[in-house]
Amino acid sequence: MSWYCDACGSEVVNETKFCGSCGNPRVAQYADKPSFPGIQPSPNPGATPIPGYQVQYVQVAGPKTNGHAITSLVLSLLGLCGIGSILAIIFGNMAKKEIAAQGGGGLGLAKAGVIIGWIGVGVIAIYIAVLISTMILQSRIDSCINSAC
């Protein structure tokens, strides 16, 4: 079944969500095209409908948010400097691949989880580097004190 645009009255294929003629979103659907010559359907869906025609309003649900994307963001925030950062990167990349293949929402959550996860890994790497350099410096200071440099 096709539908007719509320704004311009042109016929549009049922699967599309926007009118190909004027670009307006699908808000109302008439059972058949109004047969009043010179009268276009009302561009305002809240206005009084044309007598004899029933208006059917369609509510479109947004895409479901990917679970791996949510997990990635939560792990990156909870385990900023631990194993959670590494798991956040893994789950975030899995979510991005699933969203690209199957569609759905949560791409921003997945990207945020990956970015925060890499920041956490960077913080861990800097901490380990500082710890190792401090240990090396301390051993050199101890050896210098013991051998009377």
CA 79 to chain centre: 22
Single residue among 39, 60, 81 that ends a domain in this structure:
60
Residues 46 and 16 in one domain: yes
- Are 89 and 83 a contacting pair, CB within 8 Å? no
Residues 75 and 47 in one domain: no
Number of domains comprising the chain:
2
Per-residue pLDDT of the chain (149 residues; tens, 9 = 90+): 566 666 666 776 666 666 666 667 765 554 455 444 555 555 555 556 666 777 677 777 888 999 999 999 999 999 866 899 999 999 999 999 999 999 889 999 999 999 999 999 999 999 999 999 999 999 988 888 888 66
Single residue among 9, 38, 60 that ends a domain in this structure:
60
Residues 135 and 84 in one domain: yes
Single residue among 25, 42, 60 that ends a domain in this structure:
60
Closest CA to 73 of 96, 51, 57, 53: 96
Residues 16 and 46 in one domain: yes
Residues 71 and 134 in one domain: yes
Q: Supply the range of the domain harboring residue 36.
A: 1-60
Residues 44 and 75 in one domain: no
